[in-house]
Amino acid sequence: MIKRTIAQPPEKLTGIEEIEVPHSAVGFKAIKSALTFIKDEVGIVKGIGLLAKLNQKDGFDCPGCAWPDPDEKRSFLAEYCENGAKAVAEEATKNRVSPGFFALHSVNELGQLSDYELGKKGRLTHPMYLREGGTHYEEISWEDAFELIGKTLNGLDSPDEAVFYTSGRTSNEAAYLYQLFVRQFGTNNLPDCSNMCHESSGSALSETVGIGKGSVTLGDFKHADLVIVMGQNPGTNHPRMLTALGETKHNGGKIISVNPLPEVGLKNFIEPQNPLKWLGSGTELSDLFLQVKINGDVALLKAILLLLLQKEKANPGTVFDQEFIAKQTQGYDAFITDLEKYKIPELIAQTGLTHKEVVEAAEMIADNKKIIVCWAMGLTQHKNGVDNIREVVNLLLLKGSIGKPGAGTCPVRGHSNVQGDRTMGIWEKMPEEFLDNLDAYFDFKSPRKHGYDVIKAIDAMHKKEARFFLGMGGNFNSATPDTEFTAQALRNCDLTVHISTKINRSHLVHGKEALILPCLGRTEIDYQASGEQFVTTENSMGVIAKSVGNLEPLSEFLKSETAIVAGMAKATVKNSKVDWDAMAGNYDLIRNAVEATIPGFDQYNDRVRIPGGFYLPNNARENDFSSTHTGKANFTINELSDIVLEKEQYLMMTIRTHDQYNTTIYGLNDRYRGILNERRVVFMNQQDIDEAGLKKDDLVDLISHFEGQERLAEKFIVIPYSIPRNCTATYFPETNVLVPLQSKARISNQPTSKTVVITVRKRE
């Protein structure tokens, strides 16, 4: 069994306190919590100045989530949330990690700190270098850092021995230049955080409706009859979405939530815009809460679809949109034939729900015509993650609920520019058309062989088939599955390079040599040769807008991500015809190149200067499905979960607390689930706890089981919680060590971080 190294956070308990689960989300406590983070990290005067620019048309895009801003007026309080304020506080912190700090603390010593303690050390100020065999990072000049990168890359046997990862905060401009550099160097090895996030959504949506992005706009929430929120915790991860759900309700629409946990944000919400309401009882959001078993969604959807089919047969044309089906779709008959193979009681048994609850959901769906389905990681991170989403699409197609106001698909994206990075070409398998355009504009030949995604990249580094790793943002060691395996993969590299704002565990799990390159964050002013620059991002609904920071850079040694890419490119691709300095000196030139090579960016530089930005084209929104492989929207046949639990086994989902941003730990509380000051907890059903002979607050070890292998995570506190039988929940990244690398979704190859088979062992 795998034991811990510094690749994992230490197994220290921090002193749990349990409180009652609150009745509603947001409200006064959220505002108070936001201001406390701002005060402690940034200082109140500078902090308020920052919040005033957050998500405003003349300000910067929140580095938190990708939820869109209203197209129309934006109010001061409404356009940020508690967790956006925490994200800003984390970036604009007063604390600094300088060369002096690294001289005092060895890499090994830093590895003993928790992720929370590490993050609180502050922002990186200087480029740092760890020499082979070295114990401490030392200061290095930018020139020497670029030269080392160029030399190492050019010393590889093949460009495919290098891996270039991207996290989703990188701006469009930096991402575009970065993928150009990587392709000019000669590889498509561009894995990204999206491989672990919405890859299943992209795979399912491209196949079924011809675009890997969602079809709805923010305005659609005002017109929807019914919004179904599946596998998503907006109260914590997309708090501004609660405002949109509030609007649905306000206009008479209904909400169904489907989740193994009764997440507070989905139950009740107190508007942040209106201080008069902060102390009130709030808006009840969900009309129906379906507490589904982990990975029971395909079974639930199939049961609902069968009930709808029965109703449609009884009264043809009243439940399904037959005209839409006939005109716009393909595969209906085969889909219905397959669906009829299933038996409703058997399906419902897999969901853990009652017959009555499923019938109620089917009736709400049958009665309404304008339906939006929203989802996030609760649907994508499963072996049948793609099936989950294709089944959602089947439902929407039957109802003709796509490509019209108030209806459609809404995969809710994570990182603030994860969608834009893909549009800019950060993908290991960009289509030929994109590569052809790039080649024509820049007069070179980009590689055509598909590159590594996250899982394949880890595997290749582990086998020493890849020997160079670069992370454009992110925290690869801690965000990926199978922590100890991944750590070994990184340690196998000749050189690991991280372009980062803050110190994280990936800097401590390094190759023979390592570099940390500190970059500007969203909140900072970006000075370049032609003057102050702005960047652009794409939100979850395909709006491209400008983002400009308002703080002086915290150190003169920081470079923008774009400038860093240019520096690396010049040191590496010696025969390039690209004028890297000109592009990095004036981002308008990068945007001109984007306009020339990517459809939908006509007059990019002009349109993005209009406050609020512009929408990219979206065929599904326009009710046009001609870009799928059949030229129509496609019904698909999907598989149920095939996980069979043995005695004493549970399914574990790894989720986020209210006080973290992925691997960045803002604080130790999960207020909305009643847990304060502790992350090493395992939520279990009370009956399961009783049957296992355990009690509340017992200390346990968790062991995962996959293809005969066992993985171990030690010291977790048992917490009885409202969760279906045989289901458990823990926080990521502490339990990533339990997620097997080879456990992945069919088609999308996404890690299955929400379905890990575990047993629980009481500690002596």
Ligand X SMILES: Nc1nc2c(c(=O)[nH]1)N[C@H]1C(S)=C(S)[C@@H](COP(=O)(O)OP(=O)(O)OC[C@H]3O[C@@H](n4cnc5c(=O)[nH]c(N)nc54)[C@H](O)[C@@H]3O)O[C@H]1N2
User: From the CB of residue 512, how many other CB atoms can be counted at a distance below 10 Å?
Assistant: 17
Site membership for ligand X, residue 750 (CB under 6 A): no
Measure Cα distances from 707 to 199, 309, 757 in Å.
Answer: 24, 38, 11
Rounded Cα distance, 233 and 235, in Å: 6
DSSP state letter for 161: G
Query: Mutual orientation of helices 82-91 and 27-41 as an angle, nearest 10°?
Result: 0
Site membership for ligand X, residue 474 (CB under 6 A): yes
Site residues for ligand X, window 159-198 (CB under 6 A)? 167-169, 193, 196-197
Site membership for Mo ion, residue 412 (CB under 5 A): no
Angle at 52 (CA atoms; ends 50, 54), nearest 5 degrees: 70
**For ligand X, which stretch binds (CB under 6 A), given 200-208, 242-250, 649-657, 709-717?**
649-657
SS (H, E, C) 304-344: HHHHHHHHHHHCCCCCCCHHHHHHHEECHHHHHHHHCCCCH
Maximum Cα–Cα distance across the chain: 76
SS3 532: strand
* Among 123, 462, 673, 754, interactor with ligand X by CB under 6 A: 754
Q: Which residues of 205-228 are buried (b: 16+ CB within 10 A; e: fewer)?
A: bebbbbbbbbbbbbbbbebbbbbb
Site membership for ligand X, residue 53 (CB under 6 A): no
Q: Which is nearer to Mo ion, 195 or 636 (CB)?
A: 195
Q: Which is nearer to ligand X, 187 or 475 (CB)?
A: 475
Nearest to 500 by CA among 182, 136, 123: 123
Site membership for ligand X, residue 501 (CB under 6 A): yes
Site membership for ligand X, residue 654 (CB under 6 A): yes
Q: Which is nearer to Mo ion, 414 or 420 (CB)?
A: 414
H helices of 602-760, in order, are 604-607, 686-691
Site membership for Mo ion, residue 490 (CB under 5 A): no
Residues binding ligand X: number (CB under 6 A): 61
Task: Select the binding partner of residue 718 from ligand X, Mo ion, none (C-beta < 5 to 8 A, by kind).
Answer: none
Site residues for ligand X, window 230-249 (CB under 6 A)? 230-233, 236-238
Site membership for ligand X, residue 92 (CB under 6 A): no
Q: Which is nearer to ligand X, 399 or 522 (CB)?
A: 522
* Among 107, 110, 149, 197, interactor with Mo ion by CB under 5 A: 197
- Distance of alpha carbon 264 from its chain centroid, rounded? 20
Using CB under 6 A as the criterion, what x/- string covers residues 504-533 for binding ligand X? x--------------x-xx-----------
* Among 660, 669, 748, 749, interactor with ligand X by CB under 6 A: 660
* Among 694, 700, 739, 760, interactor with ligand X by CB under 6 A: 739
Task: Select the binding partner of residue 152 from Mo ion, ligand X, none (C-beta < 5 to 8 A, by kind).
Answer: none
Site membership for ligand X, residue 415 (CB under 6 A): yes
**For ligand X, which stretch binds (CB under 6 A), given 53-61, 552-560, 569-577, 647-655?**
647-655
Which parts of 465-609 are beta strand (E)?
468-472, 495-500, 513-518, 526-528, 531-533, 535-538, 543-547
Q: Which is nearer to ligand X, 238 or 311 (CB)?
A: 238
Site membership for ligand X, residue 682 (CB under 6 A): no
Task: Select the binding partner of residue 260 from Mo ion, ligand X, none (C-beta < 5 to 8 A, by kind).
Answer: ligand X
* Among 414, 473, 481, 613, interactor with Mo ion by CB under 5 A: 414
Q: Which is nearer to Mo ion, 169 or 507 (CB)?
A: 169
Nearest to 537 by CA among 438, 431, 616, 620: 616
Query: Mutual orientation of helices 44-51 and 82-91 as an angle, nearest 10°?
Result: 120
Strands of the sheet with 513-518, listed across from one edge: 138-139, 128-130, 513-518, 495-500, 468-472, 162-166
Please provide the distance, in angstroms rounded to a whole number, between the alpha carbons at the two ends of the chain: 18
Site membership for ligand X, residue 561 (CB under 6 A): yes
Task: Select the binding partner of residue 479 from Mo ion, ligand X, none (C-beta < 5 to 8 A, by kind).
Answer: ligand X
Task: Select the binding partner of residue 616 from ligand X, Mo ion, none (C-beta < 5 to 8 A, by kind).
Answer: none
Q: Which residues of 60-82 are buried (b: 16+ CB within 10 A; e: fewer)?
A: bbbbbbbbbbbeeebeeebbbbb
**For ligand X, which stretch binds (CB under 6 A), given 9-17, 203-211, 258-266, 347-355?**
258-266
Binding site for ligand X (CB under 6 A): 63-65, 83, 167-169, 193, 196-197, 230-233, 236-238, 258-261, 263, 292, 294-295, 297, 376-378, 381, 414-415, 472-476, 479, 499-502, 504, 519, 521-522, 561, 653-656, 660-664, 732, 736, 739, 753-754
Binding site for Mo ion (CB under 5 A): 197, 414
